[in-house]
A and B are shown apart, each in its own frame.
Chain A
């Protein structure tokens, strides 16, 4: 589904991603962990099509297409979804209008008619239930005045509306209370199908109790320095990142 090969990227001339290779197959859940500032969100931004990150080397192929050549909106319509670490507030733009436009753009791309107003509202209702989001949130402006946790739930709600093939969730679990964490995880599990995949960026093993990853990667200083099964997350929770940092430094010396 997604093949990243030796991806290097920089922001304003500063090199951030220093050669990442990663393959995600249909139906897989990959977790990416790693210390602050290691480049996790930057990787997510490159995949979603953020222009200020400059790709300097490497390739990314998504469903056989060259992802790096596609505009952000086209990637979305082809099934890529980014759950933002810091969702953006957009005053004056209502959630309803935002989602209606987005859903109908996706439908147009698939050659479908726009949804009728009543079908759309029904869809909103169903998905709201699925992610147990407060009904009133959907009547407000996009993320405006939402609490941290509400913003994260709203990301999962949007994911449910757009039914992506590849969802990249950037710290969607941060700032969630225990109930919200369970709801978010349930949302993901309900959307999980054999043909769609997830990349879950997180700092906490806790989330991975609910969303069981097939693979866990550690990103450090712009490189994937360790890849293993889900037991790696438990080990990191116990021991922190120091031992990995040491391993990396020793390897460099060796």
Chain B
């Protein structure tokens, strides 16, 4: 067993049994990453609590389960995907649906939008846009500690590809809907690549949904390249059932003077782990990382941020909030790394959490590693109840306690939501958060699963 855990062994076996099948549907370039990634994965394994970055999150319950593995879409899947409609009806976006990690369209696997923008299947793009693709794929998703990144590289074969050429402003956002649906418990992985070239402006919304009540495990990796002076926003909305585990790993590489924001809104989900890696890879870059989660029952939500200041005069700001009810648990681990050359760094971090019961539990851990001297850096974390003074202030104006509590929780959450620039989405999030806080089900209309 070479000291590897049984669970890791299982995934090593899965790779060996299926690598031919997986390679058969992928480009040679993507395939060239698989063997080295597999090596790395067999060295690192599935993260356990011994891994500092997974200290508060036990993945075993999901990785130890036997799943049907999803390596290729079947024709009936295409129909399901076409039937899906997002219920944010006034959201005007270029839509893409991924079903179980695949781009489920028979024809037109890549779509051209105005100004030379392309969106569509990763697998297809690897062949059709080999030049651009090979410049970026596999360049940003790197980890010396997290085996899951390598498991994804070794085995994922499809996902979303988005290409915004130099100088282009895409006025409508791209919306990717990740659907998971199956008659069997299922493990799937997908891989996205987003390229926003120099001076481009672009935002993407990624919605994670589960459509059937089976047990699901998803391990996704997204690589983003943000060119010089480009503006890029990514908003992730997660609304999955209690029996689903979603692991997302997002790597955002920024060039000089670029500005990016990432916003992870977790409304619902069994076990969620979002790792967001920001690489400030050029002078004067700005990076904003936001997150909000609402958890109840036995849910566990873990946000990990790695803010890597590699160049001088960059700014970063992290704001993560959680509202925990029942016996739910959460974790936040925000790392700020300021490398020796990164003089003139401004780096801020805030993590605030509200525990609504005595059984709910939150772990928060800032991790500052600062190797430059001209640095302004602050961090603060709170875990507490609703503020009594604020509650009384509202009551003293005639607002009853229940309503006052709701208003405070909503206000708490809205501080994160307000950073979403796309208005219909922001309003919809405010709405869903309010419903969720009221204890009404906040699933999108299309979700069949009743978690309440």
Please give the residue numbers on chain A whose beta carbons come within 8 Å of chain B beta carbons, in ascending order. 48-52, 71-73, 75-77, 81-82, 84, 87-88, 90-93, 97-98, 101-102, 105-106, 109, 141-142, 158, 162
CA distance A75 to B422 in the complex (A): 41
Contact B411 A76 (CB under 8 A): no
Within the complex, which residue of A50, A109, A141, A142 is in contact with B398, where a contact is CB–CB below 8 Å? A109
Within the complex, which residue of B398, B401, B415 is in contact with A91, where a contact is CB–CB below 8 Å? B415
Please, which residues of chain A bring their CB within 8 A of the CB of B411?
A: 90-93, 141
Contacts A102-B394, A106-B398 known; 18 new A-B pairs at CB < 8 A: A48-B396, A50-B392, A71-B395, A71-B400, A71-B401, A73-B395, A73-B400, A73-B404, A82-B396, A87-B393, A88-B389, A91-B411, A91-B415, A93-B407, A93-B408, A93-B410, A105-B398, A158-B397
| Interface residue ranges of B170-189 to A (CB < 8 Å) | none
CA distance A52 to B388 in the complex (A): 10
Contact A72 B396 (CB under 8 A): yes
Please, which residues of chain B bring their CB within 8 A of the CB of A101?
A: 399, 403, 407
CA distance A93 to B394 in the complex (A): 10
Within the complex, which residue of A71, A92, A98, A141 is in contact with B397, where a contact is CB–CB below 8 Å? A98
CA distance A162 to B394 in the complex (A): 13
Nearest 10 pairs of A and B residues by beta carbon: A92-B411, A76-B398, A93-B411, A102-B397, A92-B414, A72-B395, A88-B393, A105-B398, A92-B415, A77-B398
Contact A72 B407 (CB under 8 A): no
Judge whether B412 is part of the interface by a CB distance below 8 angstroms.
yes
Contact B408 A73 (CB under 8 A): no
Judge whether B390 is part of the interface by a CB distance below 8 angstroms.
yes
Please, which residues of chain A bring their CB within 8 A of the CB of B156?
A: none
Please, which residues of chain A bring their CB within 8 A of the CB of B394?
A: 90, 93, 98, 102
Contact B395 A92 (CB under 8 A): no
Contact B410 A49 (CB under 8 A): no
Judge whether B99 is part of the interface by a CB distance below 8 angstroms.
no
Known contacts A92-B414, A93-B408, A101-B403; A84/B398 CB under 8 A: no
Please, which residues of chain A bring their CB within 8 A of the CB of B393?
A: 84, 87-88, 90, 142
Please, which residues of chain B bring their CB within 8 A of the CB of A98?
A: 394, 397, 407
Judge whether B413 is part of the interface by a CB distance below 8 angstroms.
yes
17 pairs across A/B with beta carbons < 8 Å? A73-B396, A73-B401, A73-B404, A75-B396, A76-B398, A77-B398, A84-B393, A84-B396, A88-B389, A92-B418, A98-B397, A101-B407, A102-B394, A102-B397, A102-B399, A142-B393, A158-B397
Name, among B393, B394, B397, B410, the residue most crowded by chain A CB atoms within 10 Å (CB to CB): B397
Specify the chain A residue showing the minimal Cβ separation from B417.
A92
CA distance A184 to B397 in the complex (A): 19
Please, which residues of chain A bring their CB within 8 A of the CB of B395?
A: 49, 71-73, 76
Specify the chain A residue showing the minimal Cβ separation from B397.
A102
- Binary interface profile of B, 214-239, with partner A (CB < 8 Å = 1, else 0)? 00000000000000000000000000
Min CB distance B397 to A, Å, is 4
Within the complex, which residue of B390, B410, B414 is in contact with A88, where a contact is CB–CB below 8 Å? B390
CA distance A29 to B337 in the complex (A): 61
Specify the chain A residue showing the minimal Cβ separation from B413.
A92
Within the complex, which residue of A81, A87, A90, A105 is in contact with B408, where a contact is CB–CB below 8 Å? A90
Min CB distance B323 to A, Å, is 12
